[in-house]
Structure 1
Amino acid sequence: MAELLTAHTSALDPGTREAVRALLAEEFVDLGEEDWEHGLGGVHALVREGGVLIGHAAVVQRRLLHAGRALRTGYVENVVVRADRRGRGHGAAPMAASEAVVRGGYQLGALCAADDAVAFYAARGRQPWRGPLTALTPHGPVPTPDDEGEVFVLPGAVALDLDGRLVCDWRDGDLW
């Protein structure tokens, strides 16, 4: 039977952090240092089966700008389920935990979905952002059209115009 644990990055022992990183590296061929860093500093949802880590999702805080407001956003990163454990609900458990964190502490939830995960996120009530996407960079606002169709939001108490502009804060690596 699988067990779910949630903990802040600061509460994860080095062995658990390394297990998460190893699982991500195993499942994502192109996992870079920046991708790893994007998932740190927030709340992790860990799924273990027989003591072995088989699933993970992290919620980190970001600021997204929309309709003249800076929204405190729970941004979901590093979602993964070990390949041989997929299709058994092990992805739903960390996502449900991350959604509870988002609903309990943020105005908005967001993530950037891989093509093969779009249906999964949509089935969980995430809505695709239809409007233009922009990033605040050190050189000013820069449109990010390559990410359009991949950003999904979990609406909260703030009214959203899904056809309006959504702007993310700057970070190294993938902006969304």
Structure 2
Amino acid sequence: MPPDPAAPAAPADAEPPVELRRSEELDAADRAALRLLWDRAFSDFTDDDAAHAVHDGGGLHALVRHAGVPVAHASVVPRRLRFGAGPWREVGYVEAVAVDPDHQRRGLGRRVMLALHPAIAARWPVALLSTGKSTGFYARLGWERWGGLSFTRLADGTEVADDEHGGLMILRCDPTVVPDLRVDVTCEDRSGDAW
């Protein structure tokens, strides 16, 4: 359909849209472009980190592109966690929140994160993420710092303490699921960083 000539033209400085894509919808070119973005945004992004971010079993990505190239990204993937002595449950886990260094300080990280919030709320009662230094950024978006200790359950069933408790944050879409943020939280091990 041709554009409506009566419709107002988008301003030249209009913000690029946030695109939501399932992991299965990302083709080889998308995945290669995302890897370049992650390598530019992080000094130590590994192949394991990339595999965690592009989860073909239910991952969802929020992207902003500039000239067709991804310049901002965040994804949420399913993970099994246990809070305190409660049952193992599937939650959303946010991965690879990145903005290209040439496009930072323009609100793109905020936009991709906020685009994921409705999808998280529709599927999971809570979501978690691990951040090294940006707790204030996430707190302004409604995420809370985790107050308890964190553990990893290994393949043999043993659980080991780790050092993620300072950077773990939770988004409680249903606060009754995790009413106390001071209990222990345990994740299942995976290749690379468990958290």
Q: TM-score, normalised by structure 2?
A: 0.85
User: 3-state DSSP class of the match of 2:17?
Assistant: strand
The alpha carbon displacement at 1:84 in A equals 1.8
Could you list the structure 1 runs, at least 4 aligned residues long, displaced by more than 2 angstroms after superposition.
49-52
2:40/2:101 contact within 8 Å kept: no
Superposition map of 1:56-71 within 5 A: 56-67=73-84, 68-71=86-89
Contact 2:71 2:99 in 1 (8 A): yes
Superposition map of 1:78-157 within 5 A: 78-115=96-133, 117-139=134-156, 140-144=158-162, 146-157=163-174
Which ranges in structure 2 are unaligned for 5 or more consecutive residues?
Answer: 1-14
1:174 corresponds to: 193
Contact 2:83–2:178, Cα closer than 8 Å, also in 1: no
Match of 1:32 in 2: 46
Give percent identity, aligned residues only: 33
Structure 2: distance between partners of 1:127 and 1:105: 19
Judging by fraction of residues, say which structure has more strand.
1
Give the conservation status (yes or no) of the 8 Å contact 1:76–1:98.
Answer: no
Retained in 2: the 8 A contact 1:2–1:48?
A: yes
**Runs of 5+ in structure 1 lacking a partner?**
none
Question: Shift of the alpha carbon at 1:159?
Answer: 3.2
Deviation at 1:52, TM superposition (A): 2.5
Structure 1 partner of 2:61 = 44
Could you tell me how far apart the structure 1 residues matched to 2:69 and 2:126 are? 32
2:140 counterpart letter in structure 1: A
Offset at residue 24 of structure 1 (A): 0.2
* Equivalent residue pairs, number: 174
Cα distance in 2, alignment partners of residues 11 and 170 from structure 1: 26
Q: CA RMSD in A?
A: 1.2
Distance apart, 1:28 and its partner CA: 1.1
Distance 1:175 1:74 in 2: 15
Match of 1:167, SS? strand
**SS of the counterpart of 2:121?**
helix
Read off the aligned partner of 2:161 and give its amino acid letter: P
Q: Which amino acid aligns with 2:105?
A: G
Structure with bigger gyration radius = 2
CA shift for structure 1 position 19 = 0.6
Give the TM-score, by structure 1 length: 0.94
Q: Determine the structure 1 residue equivalent to 2:23.
A: 9
